[in-house]
Structure 1
Amino acid sequence: MLSPCLFNLYAQYIMRNTGLDEAQAGIKVAGRNINNLRYADDTTFLAESEEELKSLLIKVKEDSEKVGLKLNIQKTKIMASSPITSWQIDGETVETVSDFIFSGSEITADGDCSHEIKRHLLLGRKVMTNLDSILKSRDITLSTKVHLVKAMVYPVVMYGFESWTIKKAECQRLDAFELWCW
């Protein structure tokens, strides 16, 4: 268990060293600049412009190399809300993507959450299917079945919902799923 802790210490050291802790780069959220999100060994950089993002990546790459860590270009992806030019770092092209998964949630360039909601509804259906024999059992009380659905299905469907932008169609899908559960 020491390895993840050491990695996190190095990652924090690199972010502080590059000045990303107090940098003006990034996007404004509630009056604060946010330029990186970290979870385990994944880091997502946020920037207002292509130049700003490139500058952030180069700073982190250089400071990482100073402590013996190497930026994996094959795992590095770029997503932008507007078209961008092709990037190269150390002669390798950095892939441009239209979406990515961060901490279990799909982030899209256009901010559309409909695919993410559909994905969660499918996962919820899988859980319901796995619980089918239990939910049809006459040996388990209705109250226990309700608790099972609320404890095992709803969290899967609603994971990350705080960040969803829900349109009328998605709201109807969520309502229909809830009715289907019962």
Structure 2
Amino acid sequence: MASVDFSEAFDSVEYDAIWKSLKCQGVHPKIIRLPSNIYASAEVAMKISANPVPIQVSRGVRQRDLIFPALFAAVLETIFCNMDWSKKGININGCYLNHLRYADDIVIFTHDAKELERMLQEMSENSDAVGLKINLSKTVIMSNSVNIPVLIDGRAAPYCTNFVHLGQRVSLDGDLMQK
């Protein structure tokens, strides 16, 4: 299994990806227009020689907005819908469990390291297309068998014996102490 972390997840998702995701999921154009208009006017000011210079913002969801979790979730839903993982993951009575996700907390499941590598690479490519980057320093692999290198974008993801998912410790030894 892999615990996946994105670099600055909420700050890096591209606005166009948000609007396309909402449209793809059947959200009415009038509903999309409201946050689109709000984000279209987003800018920051940077002082250069004591003079403020406005800079247009083209990515990132405002984390204090009530709608931001839904906007981010819509983009992640599109990423996962674009990947054909229907026969990947762990087979449980004929159904495949290949991931769990809540906001930007994602765990990928599979029975073998090479399949995990292919899944993570596909996820990386689909994520890159919307401005999200997998953070290799915080993405970890946990396995109960021999540690075979798992590459993401040509770099090996580190193995671990435990990680924290949604505040809960997940470990090979079954110790589920809370963080």
Same fold (TM over 0.5): yes
Aligned pairs for 1:97-112 (under 5 A) are: 97-109=160-172, 112=173
Q: State whether structure 2 residue 157 is matched by structure 1 residue 94.
A: yes
The higher radius of gyration belongs to 1
Report which of the two has the higher share of helix: 1
Map Cα deviations across residues 7-38 of structure 1 (whole Å, 9 max, x no partner): 11111100010123xx2010023431010100
Alpha carbons 2:121, 2:153 under 8 Å: kept: no
Say if 1:51 and 1:86 are closer, same or farther in 2 by CA, change over 3 A.
Answer: closer
Residue 58, structure 1, aligned to residue 112, structure 2:
no
Structure 2: segments with no counterpart, 5+ residues: 1-65
1:90-147 CA-to-partner distances (Å, cap 9, x unmatched) read 35431110112223332223xx33x32xx36xx9xxxxxxxxxxxxxxxxxxxxxxxx
User: Which residue, 61, 76, 82 being the options, matches 1:17?
Assistant: 82
CA distance in 2, matches of 1:66, 1:106: 31
Does 1:80 find its partner at 2:148? no
Letter in 2 for 1:14: I
**Structure 1 unmatched ranges of 5 or more:** 124-182
8 Å Cα contact 2:120/2:152 also seen in 1:
no
TM-score normalized by structure 1? 0.56
Q: Aligned runs of 1:112-127 on 2, under 5 Å?
A: 112-113=173-174, 115-116=175-176, 119=177
Alpha-carbon separation, structure 2, partners of 1:4 and 1:74: 24
1:40 aligns with 2:89: no
* Range that drifts further, 6-15 or 98-107: 98-107
- Helix, strand or coil for the counterpart of 1:28? strand
| Local SS of the residue matching 1:69 | coil
Match of 2:68 in 1: 3
Alignment size in residue pairs: 114
Letter in 2 for 1:75: K
What letter corresponds to residue 45 of structure 1 in structure 2? I
Greater RCO (CA < 8 Å, at least 6 residues apart): 2
CA distance in 1, matches of 2:97, 2:138: 22
Pair 26,91 (structure 1): closer, same or farther in 2 beyond 3 Å: closer
TM-score, normalised relative to structure 2: 0.57
Q: CA separation in 2, counterparts of 1:93 and 1:31? A: 31
**Could you give the per-residue CA deviations for residues 145-176 of structure 1, whole angstroms, max 9, x where no partner exists?**
xxxxxxxxxxxxxxxxxxxxxxxxxxxxxxxx
Residue identity matched to 1:25: K
